[in-house]
Amino acid sequence: MPDWKKIRSDFPVLDQQVHGKPLIYLDNAATTQKPRVVLEALARFYARDNSNVHRGLHTLSMRATDAYEGARARVGKFINAADPAEIIFTRGTTEAINLVAASWGGANLQPGDVILLTEMEHHSNLVPWQLIAQRTGAKLRYVPILGADVEGGLDLAQLDALLTPEVKIFAFTHVSNTTGTINPAAHLCSRAKKVGAITVIDGAQSIGHLPVDVRTIGCDFYAFSGHKMAGPTGIGALYGRRALLDAMPPWQGGGGMISLVDYFESRWKPSPERFEAGTPNVADAVALGVACDYLDALGRDQIAAHDGALARLAYEKLSVLPGIRLLGPRGERSGLVSFAFKDVHAHDIVTFADEDGIALRGGHHCNQPLMKKLGLTSTTRASFYVYNTAEEIDVFAASLRRILKFFGGA
């Protein structure tokens, strides 16, 4: 069992005061903080190994290439990919989903085909599909949610009616960034497979929080961001099954992705180079590999238990506040709580909590359609990670009581 109290000192940014109070960082669903080992890996790469990859024969270039390809293998191992070539480095989840939509979707979707999504998707797993639907004539269809303030899960009873043979892609989030719902990813993939649909999982909120094994889940694609798993911004990955990737066309052209170029036509390298045109983000990829080591040393099952316990504790402490509407499941949930008050705007709560040194997030969380469905325009969200503690939840709950009192709500 990790010593959770000691872990805090691994994160230099947490050692500061905000408005004279110790920083309590509860905005981890937006981005997590980075441990010292990740910061050092970035500095070390630039101080010792910096060079462009793949195109050089000199020592530094070979070192940079080894480090970059080593990071690819490490990230592949982190999610149990069968082959490092199944890992394509991207800027993050958003770019990874855009890659699948543009490349697989552009090559395969026909008018009348259906892209199945869910009503709880982040804009990143929504807008790219709208764009490719417009280009190809495919249609969008949604798995509805049960009331999000009841349990916040998908209405799985509708799956039989929705998963018809016209469905070519089923793209869904592993964990909701607004309700904290953990979707039954393996079950959804096996249901999609029965009608021959490929599956794309948005892993932005799961990758750093739960054990993720793409082969056990049985998905075709899995997209995630490094900055939500203790790694740097500007780096993430798309996992794709090799057979699918090898049959997909490039989505961006440039150096590094070709085997031969002539004035009028070119030939592509296989995956992953085919999908990584231009100089890649070498330093951040290397540091992402170090973030994988850091999280695996803690144990992702332990992290899931820790974050989930904090979220359940917060849910219980907040549920007694007058007039609160708490979203998502009461029991098993990922490490976040999202809530709304009728008379106090989320932005006011976030601003007032900041005075107590607490970092929260208020708004639609890039979930505008879900907000509309819930009859809300915004929620306040507290999201937890390895360095958060039960004591911080107490301070957070006390701060909310103070804020409600100020607004005349308690």
Residue ranges that bind ligand 7TS, judged by CB under 6 A: 29-30, 92-94, 122, 124-125, 173, 177, 202, 204-205, 225, 361, 365-366
Nearest to 154 by CA among 192, 176, 193, 183: 183
Answer whether 358's CB lies under 8 Å from 24's CB.
Answer: yes
As measured in angstroms, the least distance from the Cβ of 153 to ligand 7TS is 15
Cβ distance to ligand 7TS smaller for residue 204 or 238? 204
As measured in angstroms, the least distance from the Cβ of 93 to ligand 7TS is 4
Cβ distance to ligand 7TS smaller for residue 122 or 274? 122
As measured in angstroms, the least distance from the Cβ of 303 to ligand 7TS is 17
As measured in angstroms, the least distance from the Cβ of 90 to ligand 7TS is 9
As measured in angstroms, the least distance from the Cβ of 225 to ligand 7TS is 3
> Does 366 participate in catalysis according to the annotation?
yes
As measured in angstroms, the least distance from the Cβ of 59 to ligand 7TS is 34
Candidates 189, 219, 292, 366; catalytic one: 366
Cβ distance to ligand 7TS smaller for residue 120 or 245? 120
SS3 for 111-140 is: CCCEEEEECCCCHHHCHHHHHHHHHHCCEE
As measured in angstroms, the least distance from the Cβ of 27 to ligand 7TS is 8
Cβ distance to ligand 7TS smaller for residue 225 or 271? 225
Cβ distance to ligand 7TS smaller for residue 64 or 230? 230
Cβ distance to ligand 7TS smaller for residue 226 or 357? 226
- The one-letter code for the residue type at 128 is P
As measured in angstroms, the least distance from the Cβ of 237 to ligand 7TS is 11
Pairing of strands 198-202, 221-225: parallel
Q: What CA–CA distance (Å, rounded) separates 133 from 105?
A: 8
Answer whether 89's CB lies under 8 Å from 235's CB.
Answer: yes
Cβ distance to ligand 7TS smaller for residue 136 or 179? 179
Cβ distance to ligand 7TS smaller for residue 306 or 381? 381
As given in the structure block, the two tokens for residue 333 are 């949930």
Report, as residue numbers or ranges, the catalytic residues: 366
